[in-house]
Amino acid sequence: MLIMTTYWQLRGQAVVWPGVTKVSLMTAAQVQARRYLADMAAKGNWQRVIQDLNPDNHLLDVNQWRPGDASWTTVLHEAAKQGAPLDVVSWLINRGALRSQRDAEGKRGIVNTCGSGCFRRPPFRLADRRLRAGLVG
């Protein structure tokens, strides 16, 4: 008879690894905490999200998604989708949110956060030409 050791049993109080996706490998407390975090992010309750992602909480990780959900949407993806305040996005990234982590559609949270506007080249060429021509300052 094969006896399966759960991730919870292996890790003890170590940092949560968000790669565990099977609900059957999680404890009820992990599933409940992860679903609650996903609900709070979906509702845009960023104060609660930040509170729940404190370093002492060994059930949650900033890069995980809702257990059993095929969209792979993380808290950063939700923040991007909802246009969360920049301080929230910065906090998530400083907490370890992976800007390169893709959802099931291949979208990265940081790209969604910025939209197309963040990556446009600033109009330095025009300013450089004006400086060289003596038109500025």
Q: Which CATH superfamily is domain 7-133 in?
A: Ankyrin repeat-containing domain (1.25.40.20)
pTM over 0.75: no
Q: How confident is the model at residue 112 (pLDDT cuts 50, 70, 90)?
A: low
- 3-state secondary structure (DSSP) of residue 61: coil
pLDDT tens readout for residues 13-24 = 444 666 677 888
Residue 34 tokens read as 């992860």
Residue whose pair of structure tokens reads 């990265």 in the numeric block: 108
Residue among 51, 50, 16 at smallest CA distance from 30: 16
Partner residues linked to 25 by β-bridges: none
12 or 56, higher pLDDT:
56
Is 71 in contact with 38 (CB distance < 8 Å)?
no
Report domain extents, the chain: 7-133
